[in-house]
A and B are shown apart, each in its own frame.
Chain A
């Protein structure tokens, strides 16, 4: 397939799927086959991801568990189109992104994947609603449909009355919900949660995980939740353990 052709059209729809891939609506959100990431050092190399194989189904929620340096972040970054694998195959939402360049990966992140970061990282000078609309402003603007979607998401996340509040005026849980809303704005195939509860106390952390599970399941969106905390795994369909760059 000619990669350039894929970007001449509109949004990715999964119809650029690889050979033998199932129909788009049932296609796994993520397929990784022998994905490897190697960083060359002065006279050696560091293997950050060692021939990882993982499949995340379209509406599956997977907890990615492992100690620091085990390769969780690298796997997540490759799945989210932030990094390219040194070798191996990566298919996100039916689109083979294994050989994509930086520009194409930017579009993957904009259209196929949603991110919720560890420290939430909302834009501090934008209101909750504007933080959601940023996603639309970064790509081809859709205008009114995006505004309607932002309002709908804020309503569903229980933030309708907080739409005009700046992040500094929101509680930790509310900020996390805005971040979830932002991740859902582009109607992604896969949402990556990076330690979503690490900045919250236990009670709030559990409440946020419940919210994440409910939102993902109600929308049929796949999710990978990177965590150190084994308690988080109870909210996911299954856990994948990593160690020394390998998926166990």
Chain B
């Protein structure tokens, strides 16, 4: 093992090519992972921010706010279910928002949430005609006290504060009470206007100690399957495009890890071939195949860790260099560590291809080479 580390230290040039390729692969992996995290975050932020345990849609809505309708009678049934402490109506409306003095085509994509419960990070709902805005809008020039005009009806709302991580399907969320939401809905989408006390969905808070999944099942039973209830965590995953994004990126990440395995396997296979003579000598003087292979794995692990460290610094730098809001990149410590773990596994698996070659090195090759 000491021998392997000394070789790394004294002959770094020998490992430079593999280290550089591994660094680029690690950076690619971290960038892809960061993009996935950023996309998922910008899709699900608003749902994850809901201060509730269960989200109730009408059964025909396929978990989509726009298709869902919850009448007061249905809400009363949900209120009566064991484990339900409180219900709150919620609805969403996707519109373009115009800042003061901006051109007619300079629109911000927003999702206006009308809810009876404020999002998790804030204590109270704003008053009528006021909204809390997602933090990302600040980078687009929205400031506290600014009046935004929503939709073709140019419904005015005043920004009175900001919330973090509340994007919805890539659009910044605005949070307001049910009354303002209904007014904006009526002024801009009269065809979607709902009756008094009718909401698109219900937020449900549970009594302490209740199991969210179990309560969700009980709600659907109580309503005779007129509702489709799911936990807020599950609701985030069922948002349109989220699973497709995850599947696509995970496949790309899988292919990248496979490439890393091939790179490590090829590099260390070549190194093993090159070292066959040295391994023969070391075996002849008493080295075991196990320790030689262990040294190889150690070199791969150290090389991968170094490459990942450089890539992590580069990824963080990239994250800082990219202007906020332009690319949905989110570099988190968890993603960097996950990428390192993937590549460490790839390094060990890649090395395993050289195991047979190390075992096959014959100590007899060290002796009598010319006789």
CA distance A135 to B177 in the complex (A): 78
CA distance A125 to B2 in the complex (A): 12
Partner of A118, one of B10, B278, B368: B368
The residues of B that contact A59 with a CB separation of less than 8 Å are none
CA distance A139 to B369 in the complex (A): 26
Give min CB distance, B254 to chain A, whole Å.
37
A26 interface hit (Cβ, 8 Å): no
A-B pair count, CB < 8 Å, reads: 88
Interface of B is mostly: helix
Interface size band for B: 20 to 34
Q: Contact: B284 with A182, CB < 8 Å?
A: no
B288 interface hit (Cβ, 8 Å): yes
Q: Contact: A125 with B7, CB < 8 Å?
A: yes
Q: Contact: A77 with B367, CB < 8 Å?
A: yes
CB-nearest residue of chain A to B1: A137
Q: Contact: B368 with A76, CB < 8 Å?
A: yes
Interface 0/1 of B245-277, CB less than 8 Å to A: 000000000000000000000000000000001
CA distance A124 to B364 in the complex (A): 20
- Interface size of A in residues (CB-CB distance below 8 Å): 38
Q: Contact: B367 with A82, CB < 8 Å?
A: yes
Partner of B277, one of A76, A80, A110, A121: A121
A212 interface hit (Cβ, 8 Å): no
CA distance A80 to B7 in the complex (A): 28
Q: Contact: A83 with B364, CB < 8 Å?
A: yes
CB-nearest residue of chain B to A130: B6
Q: Contact: A73 with B286, CB < 8 Å?
A: no
The residues of A that contact B286 with a CB separation of less than 8 Å are 106-107, 109-111, 135, 138-139, 186
The residues of A that contact B363 with a CB separation of less than 8 Å are 82, 109
Q: Contact: B369 with A82, CB < 8 Å?
A: no
* Chain A residues numbered 12-33 whose CB sits less than 8 Å from any CB in chain B: none
With contact pairs A125-B6, A126-B3 given, residues A68 and B371 touching in the complex (Cβ less than 8 Å):
yes
With contact pairs A110-B285, A123-B278, A134-B3 given, residues A82 and B371 touching in the complex (Cβ less than 8 Å):
no
Q: Contact: B366 with A72, CB < 8 Å?
A: no
Q: Contact: A117 with B367, CB < 8 Å?
A: yes
Give min CB distance, B280 to chain A, whole Å.
8
The residues of B that contact A83 with a CB separation of less than 8 Å are 364
The residues of B that contact A134 with a CB separation of less than 8 Å are 3, 282, 285
A195 interface hit (Cβ, 8 Å): yes
The residues of B that contact A119 with a CB separation of less than 8 Å are 369
Q: Contact: B366 with A121, CB < 8 Å?
A: yes
A198 interface hit (Cβ, 8 Å): yes
Q: Contact: B367 with A123, CB < 8 Å?
A: no
B205 interface hit (Cβ, 8 Å): no
The residues of A that contact B368 with a CB separation of less than 8 Å are 72-73, 76-77, 118, 194, 226
CB-nearest residue of chain A to B365: A82
CA distance A82 to B371 in the complex (A): 16
CA distance A109 to B363 in the complex (A): 10
* Chain B residues numbered 316-371 whose CB sits less than 8 Å from any CB in chain A: 363-364, 366-371
Give min CB distance, B53 to chain A, whole Å.
58
Most buried by B among A68, A110, A194: A194
Give min CB distance, B114 to chain A, whole Å.
70
Q: Contact: A121 with B278, CB < 8 Å?
A: yes
23 example contacts (A-B, Cβ-Cβ < 8 A) are as follows A68-B371, A69-B371, A72-B368, A76-B368, A77-B367, A80-B367, A106-B287, A109-B285, A110-B285, A110-B286, A111-B286, A115-B285, A115-B367, A117-B284, A117-B369, A121-B281, A130-B6, A134-B282, A135-B286, A137-B3, A194-B367, A195-B370, A226-B371
Can you add 15 more A-B contacts, CB < 8 Å, to A82-B366, A124-B278, A226-B371? A69-B371, A72-B368, A73-B368, A82-B284, A82-B367, A106-B287, A115-B285, A115-B366, A117-B281, A121-B281, A121-B366, A125-B11, A134-B3, A134-B285, A138-B288
Please give the residue numbers on chain A whose beta carbons come within 8 Å of chain B beta carbons, in ascending order: 68-69, 72-73, 76-77, 80, 82-83, 103, 106-107, 109-111, 115, 117-119, 121, 123-126, 130, 134-135, 137-139, 182, 186, 192, 194-195, 198, 226, 228
Per CB-CB distance, the 6 closest pairs between chain A and chain B, nearest first, are: A110-B286, A73-B368, A125-B10, A121-B281, A109-B286, A138-B287
